[in-house]
Amino acid sequence: MRTPDVVTTDKGHGRLERRELWTVRADDLGLYLQQDFGWPRVRQVGWIRHFRRRTHERAWTEVATHTWISSVAIDRAGPREMALMLRDHWAIENALHWVRDVTWDEDRLYGGAIGIKLAAVRNTAINLIRTLGFAYIPDGWRHLSARRDFGCATLTTVLKK
């Protein structure tokens, strides 16, 4: 295997993380993905290997490799830019989808015909809690649940802005 195109290291939250990224032009593979899977305009493909360990440990405790595809041409976003874009993608995933899946157990609950409306209500609640400055959604949820008058008043104030 060739050496990675980009290697990044981050330290925070008591962890050390290392990411290795490889990228390749899609060329014929892009045509194949478009014809057989309906994925249009795939310009580059690659994989990212992610290592994680606690700062006080010597060995990497988590190692995962993920494959990715992108419609951004390699001349517009090289390996370093692609690493940043993938990192931003996971920031969205962790900030919104993880909160909905874990905090509200949304994947287990099935809303049927009202699912889209429930998702809109949950998104409003998440945004309201973040607007109020809570670091963690469950903390804000408990605070607003205990003081319903405060939650409703805050919601109407935010909606007026």
Query: 110-130 pLDDT, tens per residue?
Result: 665 666 777 777 778 888 888
- Cα angle at 96 between 92 and 100, to 5 degrees? 150
Up-side HSE of residue 122: CA atoms within 13 Å toward CB?
21
SS3 for 65? strand
Confidence band of 6 (pLDDT split at 50, 70, 90): very high
Is 45 part of a structural domain of the chain? yes
Judged against a pLDDT cut of 90, whether residue 7 lies above it is answered with yes
Q: Residue 55 has which token pair?
A: 């700062």
Tally the domains of the chain: 1
Is 137 part of a structural domain of the chain? no
- Cα angle at 37 between 32 and 43, to 5 degrees? 50
The Cα–Cα gap between 73 and 92 comes to: 22
Is 30 part of a structural domain of the chain? yes
Is 145 part of a structural domain of the chain? no
Q: Which residue pairs, CB below 8 angstroms and at least 24 apart, start in 145-152?
A: none
Mean pLDDT score of the chain, rounded to an integer?
A: 80
Q: What pLDDT is attached to residue 3?
A: 94
Is 103 part of a structural domain of the chain? no
Is 111 part of a structural domain of the chain? no
Q: What pLDDT is attached to residue 34?
A: 82
**pLDDT tens-digit readout, 20-77:** 999 988 887 888 888 888 888 888 888 999 898 988 888 888 788 888 888 888 778 8
Q: What pLDDT is attached to residue 75?
A: 76
Is 83 part of a structural domain of the chain? no
Domain residues for the domain of 37 are: 1-77
Is 154 part of a structural domain of the chain? no
Q: What pLDDT is attached to residue 160?
A: 60
